[in-house]
Structure formats: C-alpha cells, structure tokens
Structure 1
Amino acid sequence: MTSGGAGMVDWTLAVSLGSRIAGEGPRISRTEADEVVAELRAGADRSTGLVRDFTGLAAAERTAPVLVVDRAGWVAANADGFSTVLAPVVDKLTAGKGAPSGWSLAVGSRVTGVEVGALLGFLAGKVLGQFDPFHEPNGRLLLVAPNVVHVERELDVDPHDFRLWVCLHEETHRVQFTATPWLADHLLGEMHALADTLEPAGLLEDGLSRISEAVRGHGSLLDAVSSPEQKEIIDRVTGVMSLLEGHADVVMDGVGPGVIPSVASIRRKFNQRRKGAGSLDKILRRLLGLDAKMAQYRDGAKFVRHVVDHAGMAELNAVWERPENLPSKSEIADPSAWTARVL
C-alpha cells in the first residue's frame, strides 16, 4: 500500500472493516469457483483482440495484469488506490497550520478509517470489474468473481455470455489506458489541481455544513464539498469519465452481437438493475454520487455513438491523441461541439 495519507487514514482498519461489511457473496462450490475464475481470465484475454478490432486502438502489449479477486481483495486493492489518489489532497491538508498531530491524529485516522471502510464495504458488493490505472507500474484489471456470479444469478442470464460481456467492458478500459499512456497521469494531475484549491483553514467546518445539506436531499456528497473552482475541475474529470464509461458500453454492445448470443437480453436486464433496488440503496447512490455515475454511462455512450455515426470510429480516436482533445462535460452533452473543435 502506498504511503499517501497514511497518517490521516487508518488504512488497515479501513480494509478490515470494509471486508467485513462486504461479506463473501453467493455460496459456490470450490470447483465452480475455479471454473468462474478460469472463465473470467480467458474472457479478458479473448476480449483484447475483440476490442482492438472494433475500436482500432492499438494497446501496448499486455503489461497490466488481470486479477480475479473476491470482495475482500477488491477492498484491499481500492484502499491502495484511494491512498494514491488522495495523497495530494492529504498532503495539502496536513501542510497547513493547525493540522492534527499526536492523539488527535490517531483518533482522527481511525474515524476516517471507519468512514472509508464503510464506503469500500458498500461498493465491494456492487462492482463487477475495474481497471486501476494508478497501480504501479502499468495498472491492473480487477474482476470481482462473486459479484459477477451474484448478478448473473439475479438477472437469470446465461452465465457464459454474461461473463464475457463484463470482460469486454473492463478490457476496454484496460485498452483505453494502455493505448493512451498519458491518460492516468492526466487524471492524477487533476487531483493535484483539486488539492491546490483546498484551504485547510475552515475546510472541515464548511464541509460539514455542506454535507448536512446533501443528507437533507440537496445533491451528493461530492457536490457538498465542491467550491465553484473545484466544480470546474470536477466537471473536467466528469467529461473524461463519461467518455471512458460510454466508450466501454458502446464497445461491449457493438462487439456483443457477434460473440454473445443473448447480449440484447443482458443489456435490457442490466439497465433495469442499474436504477437501484430498494429505497436505502437509492439514498446511498445519491449521497455517494452513483446516480451521476450512471449518467456517465448513458451520456458518454450517446456522445460516442453520435461521433461514430457522423464521423467514424477512426475520427473518434482523435480523442485519445492528447489531453486537449478530451471532451468537456458540456461537449459530452453536445457532441457536435466537440466535433467542430477537434475534428
């Protein structure tokens, strides 16, 4: 685990609590578990060529490993990732006057560890797969086997088709980052830019009042701690994330009909599931900004399809050439504006 924020967050506590909250997932025999792991690994390998042929993106030779993990493994991996991404923010907060130390730091790190652990524990039961671009040296692809099994059972879909469908989406993310070596550094640079906007003095007091507003129903926790300057940075990141998620959705649906017989049924059932189940789940999704995450899939896919339909896949790939070609949040909603600016 990286050292970023090591004093501000008790990462050991976060991983331990998150793993307990996440649970183990559906009951499955050892033999079946081995078969699922093998099939997911094979699906990721098979997807590499399928993504390349559909998108024209030439990913570097596979250097980012594929890890098939359980929920606890996902929690541990993301605690590592969080510590890297949050490092510039934590460094800014601890550099200011009045930064916690000694007893207050020890207590505060455990409180923060509980909060991060609870968040990771909740998400660990939701995520099917993820590409972690910040893991040294070349990133890594995580596939969460128990969640894949849980969802394929819940949706009552063909398990072999569903596993390949998930692999197509996540492998697209691996290709996006390995074909675009500057992309991970660009996103990390945005985190540094966000950290530069923070003023430690009064940050906790202002943040708590905004969080209270979010809990009462006004926006997400992300909105709650964002000043106008920070919102500008977050809007840029939202544009990039919408592109990444929408592009992956378009690829999985574009490739799917040729290799996944039941892809139409899977997509229909999966879209319904993305809306959330119970009221508590919907409240948590709103507070954590996951409703916005769902919009990224939808809006990003519309952007990609519009550009491809009007200009072609090769022209869309201009978006991966340099940071200036990335779409803004407003251009995601107005693809013709991006086309006019970049193409």
Structure 2
Amino acid sequence: MSHYARYLDISQGVAYGGVSAKEQAIKIQKGIDILIATPGRLLELCENKSIDLKSVNTLVLDEADTMLDMGFLQDIEKIFPQISPKRQIMMFSATLNQNIKKLAKEFLNEPVVIEVSSQRSSVDIIEQQIIKVDEEKKLALLSFFIGSKNLQKVLVFTNTKANVDLITQTLNLDGLTALGIHGDIKQPARARALRKFKANEIRVLVATDIAARGIDIEELPHVINYDLPQSTSDYTHRIGRTGRAGNAGVAISLLCVKEYKQMEEIQKDLIINIPFTTMEGFDLTEREPRTKKVVNTKLSVKKGLKDKKPRPRTAPTATKPKKSKKTTKRDANRKFGKR
C-alpha cells in the first residue's frame, strides 16, 4: 500500500500478529486513512479500546474464501457490526463457497457479483509440467533439478510445516540458498525471508499455502509443487504466482504415484492436459495404479435382447426311433373324434 500511495496524501497503518500491538495502536491513534489488518489483531485492538471503527465507511475483505476456511468467520462477524451503518463492503475471493454466501446474505445489501476470470483462463499463460518421481526421491530430485537447471528464483510449495523446514535445510546443505515461511515462523522472520527473496539474495523460498497467501512477486519465473495441493483452487493459487505482468512463467509439479488421481481431477477441472516426463537417474520403482480395461459390449447384450441375425444351420443329427406305445384290446375298441 505504501508503494501505491507514495505520491498521494494518504496515510496508512497495519495491524497483524507476531509484533507489538502497542506500537501499532499508537500509530493508528495518531490518525490514518487506510488500515490493513488481520481479523485477529484488529478484533484485539477493538476489544482493548485501542481503535474505534464507527467512522469506517469502506471495508475490503481480501482472500475471503481463505480467511473463512482458516476459521476467521466468527472474528469477521464480530468486526462487521462495529463499522458505520452507511458503508460499502467489498469481498474478494477466488471461489464463491457457502461461507462467502452466508456472510454476504448477513451483511451485504443487494450485493453484485463481478467475475474477472475463470480458473481455466488464469492458467492458460503458464507453462505447466509434471515430473514423475518416487516419493522417497522427491527431495533429491528437487535439489538436483534446481541446481542442474541453474534456476535463480524458485518458489517451492509444500503441504506441511515439517516439509518446509526439511526442504530448506537440505537445499542449503546442497549449496542452494533457501529460506522457509510457515505459520510457526514469526511475522518479522517471514517478512525478512520474502524481502530477501524479492531482492534475489536467496534463490529458493519454501512455503505452505497459508503462509504464501498475498505474496505478489512480479518477476517469478518458476513455481514448483513439491506436494500436490488438495484442491484445484489451491493449485491455481500456487501456479498463479508466476507468469505475472506479462512475464513468462513455468509451474512444475513433482508427482508420486499416490498423487496421480488428484492430478487427474485438477486437469479435468481446468480442462487441460499437462505433459509429463521423468528425469534421468530417478527411475520409477513405485507401482503405478491399475487402469480398468474398457470392454465394448453390444447394447443388445446389455439389455438382454436376442440376436436377430439367423444362426448358422447345423447338420441334422441321427435320432433314435421312438418306441411305439403298447396298446391293449380296450384301447383298440375306443373311438376318438366327433360323435
């Protein structure tokens, strides 16, 4: 915000956890035009009477779907009533889920939905690749790939905090400067890591999805999915970090056998077919899932109908002569027919 407002007479402040709330409150109380805050810290400042939201007439909820998924719905529901009744509320979201609809119904008056682009169009400009690899070889392949291709600026996504720490440590031991960001790392350290990454002081930034929300890097040539995300929305969020501002971007997913099905779902949702490859020296040993063979069966057979085509005639077989019925004298005297 300070970058965009540097030529304007607009004062702004921030409020987020991990740093001193007292210093933030002092700056806010001096008077600001725009406040950028996380729900938890903002609610804390309101409860401590450090800030009064009654004069706020414009409220923007960015990354709304993610905030609600992270459990901030109750905090947001407590914040909204505290702002001015004459207000404009804008919610920006990658998806329109039930929580977003619930919040809109409760606090918005005749809201209008504006859709900028679909998930499909947002990934069309990005070159996507899949490298198949055994799960136990992923870390070695990641380090080899970055080093052998001489990649200078790479954002690596993984699903767990433990993997962030492990990948960061391994890459540094291999001579690839790297820092990690996740929920357990304090905000000043996360900001410092991001600042160094943008300034090209480190080659690799390793992050979880939540920690990477809001990261905006104009020139980011490579994004690597060390683990595949659990949803198509998260996938588009990840690879959307590259290919910005007209720059070329490449998104690579390291795929092990247990992730094949999830990748099929992502490709189906985005209506794309991503090419895959393997790397020399990293032969696949994991057993690939079996695929069902499709057997074309006639519709008439499925419905149990008889085949109308005449069956080929077979040669007549010899039959045994029938035995004549033994008759008695009484039978011979009987007359059959009309009387």
Q: TM-score range by the shorter chain?
A: under 0.3
Query: Greater helix share, 1 or 2?
Result: 1
Q: Which has the larger radius of gyration?
A: 2
The answer to which structure, 1 or 2, has the higher relative contact order (CA under 8 A, 6+ apart) is 1
Please give the TM-score of this superposition, normalised by the length of structure 2.
0.24
